[in-house]
Amino acid sequence: MNGKSIVDCELDRKIAQGAVRHVLKVLRPRYVCVASSKVWRAIFCNIDTAGFECCAVAHAASAWWNRRNRHGANGRLQFRNFIQNALRASQRGGSN
State the pLDDT at residue 34. Answer: 93
Range(s) of the domain holding residue 87:
30-92
- Indicate whether 17 belongs to any domain: no
- Indicate whether 77 belongs to any domain: yes
- Indicate whether 68 belongs to any domain: yes
The CA-based angle 69-55-51, given to 5 degrees, is 160
- Indicate whether 66 belongs to any domain: yes
Task: Using alpha carbons, list the distances in angstroms from residue 52 to 32, 47, 61.
Answer: 7, 11, 26
Q: What pLDDT, in 10s, does the model give residues 24-72?
A: 999 999 999 999 888 888 888 888 888 899 999 999 999 999 999 888 8
State the pLDDT at residue 31. Answer: 94
- Indicate whether 6 belongs to any domain: no
Q: What is the pTM of this model?
A: 0.77
